[in-house]
Structure 1
Amino acid sequence: MSSSLQPAAAAETADSRPAVSRPLAVALLLVWPAQLLTVVGSIGSNAMPQIAEHMRTPHIAWFTVTFVLVSLMTVPFAMKLGSVFGKRRIMVILTAAGLVGDIVAAVAPNFTVMLIGRAMGGFYGPVVPLVMASVREIFPRAWVSTVYGIITGSIGIAQVGSPLLAGWLIDDFGWRAALWSLVISTLVAGACLLAMPETPRKGTVRNFDWAGGLLLGGGVALLVFGIGKGGSWGWTAAGTMICLVAGVAALVGFVLVELRVQQPVVHVRILARRAVAAAVIVPSLVQGVFFVVPTVLTFLALYPAIPHVSDGLGWSVTHTAVVGIAAGVVTVLAGVAVGRLLRRTGPRLLWFVSTGTLSVGLLLAGLYHGDEVEIILTGVVIGLGGGMLVSTVGSMIVSVVSLEDQPAASGISSLLYQASGALTYQLLFLQLDDHSTVMRGVTFYADAGFRNAYFVLAGLVAVGFLLTLGMPRLQRPEQALQS
């Protein structure tokens, strides 16, 4: 490794922040890199039906799954290397790798090449947790809360605006234009990251937990692959069983390794405390389920209505985005409301309200999804529960861990919800594929598949609600920060 990449001889302390002469300008620079995954997810998801038809592939689910898997496997390594060599440097390298992947996907002549590009694009995934971890290191203490508010508040703009952007691009110019917009978006994110100050460098790569990172990524990848192939191979087939058993064994091995090494890639020991485990594990998994929800509406709305073949609604991407505006606005307002409610009550009550509302909304969506009015009304309920849920999960982590442990807990939460999202994505397509028809290489879905997909999502959220009934009382975030 070249000398330019060697960590500083003396690690800087946590309070050794670089001088930021214009904190507001730097905060605004971080907004786009932090929200790029939201934009990528929305535009990519809306392009998937056209890509499936053009590429004649029944395996369109892997368009997203490959991206998420690479992102998941990269996160623990990126977080560690960011501490050693500086987070900005690692984010720029990851963004460059993701940019190459975006270009490959945009020019791909076939679906195999496109999946290679999407896998490379997944290297951008760790940039989001790295951005959030950088805030505490590069801004004065008085600005930290404000910067977090600016970054998280911009989620609403991305959630409402990106579907409309996707509609304009795909309806007027086609799916390749949508993928080229991701190239431009990644370029802009890279430019923003180059303009931010570097974070302090701490620690060395000596004794780095390579085994833990490989076991974690490999275990999740095997489970996702096994679940995805279970429907076609058969759940008792040797290939399926080998993937599932090996995946579970790898994750068990990961936990055992993390408990023994001095510098674990994931600090699982903090989950030994009951309150921390209750506030981090299940909530993060349920959050991953929520982020998969829009996929069902995308395929329901954009696929055509063909008697006895496809029960889609046949809408344009723009029409679908307009129908979804109400749900997007409610999601944003629900998040804002949680911030105000947390001043008077702890996150435990809000967690139960959010998961209960979300599960009911998903159940209603499974029953009623035949026209604009039904989708708007059920979408508002889903948005209310989901918006509350996302904001509440973050406050739960703050409520149960110390300031020093917050980066580790946030990293665990990020890994869990990405893993949950990948697994849920495969479960969702299993339901769709059980009620599907392949015509000219394209898989079309019957209404029973959409209904069952919503029911499965509702059931997963409801299980999360039940598993947390014994959750201890949690402090309000401001009380935890003062203690």
Structure 2
Amino acid sequence: MSPDTPSGTSSAEQSWTPRLIFSLASIVLLLEMLTLSYLMISMSLPSISAHFHTAQGAWLLTVFLLVGAVSSPLLGKLGDLYGKRKVMLGCIAMSAIGSLLCALAANFAMMLVGRALAGFLPPCVFLGYSLIRDVFPPKVIGLAVSIATSGLGLIAIPAPFFAGWLIDNSGFRGIFWVLAAGSVLFGCMIAASTEESSVRVRSRIDVLGAVLLGAGIGGVFVALSLGPSWGWSATSTLVYLFGGLVLIIAWAVSAGMIREPLLELRVLRRRPILLITLSSACCYGCATTLALLLPMMIMTPGALGLGYGFGVSAKGYALYQTPFGLMVVVGGALVGVLMGRRVRPRPLLLLGALLLAAAFALVAFEHHDRLLLLVFSAMAGTGTGFAYGATPNLLIEAVPPQLQASTASVVNVAQSVMSAALPVIAFAVLNNSFIATLPGGSHGAILYTEKGFQVAFLIGAAAGVIGAVLALALPRRIQQIVVSDAGEVEGTASVVAH
């Protein structure tokens, strides 16, 4: 690590300046755009799927999350080697190009390429926090990071209405023009206001690990997505499925053989960390799956006689999205309040998973009443907020500071992969057995039977139940990893987590 003082902290007494405020605002706006991107894609999925006559719309989010998950560890190391600001601006540029491709896409394949490039935006979250830590004055770092973190929730209420208005008035291409323009604007603001970090860490880049992991997960996902149309016993399906599994196994083997792997898997040998990782991943997968299934069900015209749907516009759907986004923020805040009163994070993660499971199960069997759907959406949002807030606090209890960065990267990848995988599984089931056949055609859109949506929501409920069981299996007394001065794992220390 460079002994030089970071350029933004040359004076220990330095406090807020107009440039620092502008820098923080630029970073916060960029992170807000990431949240807006998730909302816009989920709300525009029905119109995109109808326009391109595809049943693979879930891949618009899957490929985005997959690229973000696999690239994050590599980009983190590149930031340590060459500067976090440079890497962050490069990610923003790639995201802008990806959104531009989506706005101009003539076919669904071009749309997927654009979304893959846009997947370089999620790593900007940890790059932004790291940059704040490196270049902001010590006196304001805590407040700056808090503002950047809480800022992610400010967009929860107005964003669905803005996204709905944009989709209804400009079509789905309008959201990608906005995302491309926002990337360029906020990238320029960061370039003009934020200095480069002087912190440098020598590190090896595990490119082979990234290729093996990304290709392996991608192969399995392709098999799950296209298996219904290819046939589950078709050669192409089996090649992608087993080829992907072989690549994933090869990655795991390589990770145990090299000194600085893409992901430090040794932390998963500890039972509490493994359980925290898998439980939180199930919750994250539930949240993403709900964001894709709910708009498709609610925005389908009820006049088609499928047994569901209200035929609302994208702007009308915002009413159903708002309780979810609002309660994610409230649930996360409640975690902080309850932990301040000595409530441990373990039961909060358990409660979050149970709320998600209950919300999915209720929507599966009761989706004809608008008011009840609002309640179920709020219930799922609360569960998601509990899971989001409890997970990092559990990791803090289970892992010492020396290993928190490497552990967080493993957990983040697991959460992203599950967020990408669960929708693929749900839509694979829908496309395999539950495509609706309507008299006179389906008006260009791929529609599903009511039974299909019930099964899809029950898949989400099962994931929530699994997450709850894993959270319940967490030991009441967590054995925190103890690390020696040389960085080696020595043993454990008890931390009460009941």
**TM-score, normalised relative to structure 1:** 0.89
The answer to which of 111-120 and 301-310 deviates more is 301-310
Q: 1:416-455, aligned counterparts within 5 Å?
A: 416-433=414-431, 434-437=433-436, 439=442, 441-455=444-458
Q: 1:139-154, aligned counterparts within 5 Å?
A: 139-154=136-151
| Cα distance per residue 1:356-409 (max 9 Å; x no partner) | 122112111111111311211111211121111111112222222222322222
Contact 1:83 1:200 in 2 (8 A): no
| Cα distance per residue 1:285-311 (max 9 Å; x no partner) | 432332331211111122223535684
Aligned to 1:362: 360
Q: 1:23-422, aligned counterparts within 5 Å?
A: 25-194=22-191, 195-204=193-202, 207-307=204-304, 311-343=308-340, 344-422=342-420
C-alpha separation in 2, matches of 1:157 and 1:424: 27
C-alpha separation in 2, matches of 1:423 and 1:463: 15
C-alpha separation in 2, matches of 1:144 and 1:237: 56
Alpha-carbon offset, residue 69 of structure 1: 2.7
C-alpha separation in 1, matches of 2:172 and 2:178: 10
Contact 2:15 2:139 in 1 (8 A): no
Structure 1 pair 280–307 and aligned structure 2 pair: CA distance change class (3 A): closer
Alpha-carbon offset, residue 164 of structure 1: 1.0
C-alpha separation in 2, matches of 1:286 and 1:333: 17
Alpha-carbon offset, residue 459 of structure 1: 0.3
Alpha-carbon offset, residue 474 of structure 1: 6.2
Structure 1 pair 138–267 and aligned structure 2 pair: CA distance change class (3 A): farther
Contact 1:17 1:200 in 2 (8 A): yes
Percent same amino acid at aligned positions? Answer: 25
Aligned to 2:2: 12
Contact 2:278 2:467 in 1 (8 A): no
Alpha-carbon offset, residue 144 of structure 1: 4.1
The answer to which of 17-26 and 193-202 deviates more is 17-26
The answer to which of 393-402 and 81-90 deviates more is 393-402
- Give the gaps of 5 or more residues in structure 2: 481-493
The answer to which of 304-313 and 454-463 deviates more is 304-313
Aligned to 1:459: 462
- Give the gaps of 5 or more residues in structure 1: 1-10
Contact 1:80 1:265 in 2 (8 A): no
- Aligned residue for 2:401, secondary structure, equals coil
Aligned to 1:5: none
Contact 2:283 2:467 in 1 (8 A): yes
Q: Which amino acid aligns with 1:436?
A: I
C-alpha separation in 2, matches of 1:411 and 1:383: 24
Alpha-carbon offset, residue 102 of structure 1: 0.8
Between the two proteins, the alignment pairs up a number of residues equal to 468
Q: Which amino acid aligns with 1:170?
A: I
| Cα distance per residue 1:143-202 (max 9 Å; x no partner) | 444333222222222222221111111122322222211112212331343222222342
Structure 1 pair 128–62 and aligned structure 2 pair: CA distance change class (3 A): same
**TM-score, normalised relative to structure 2:** 0.87
Structure 1 pair 445–310 and aligned structure 2 pair: CA distance change class (3 A): farther
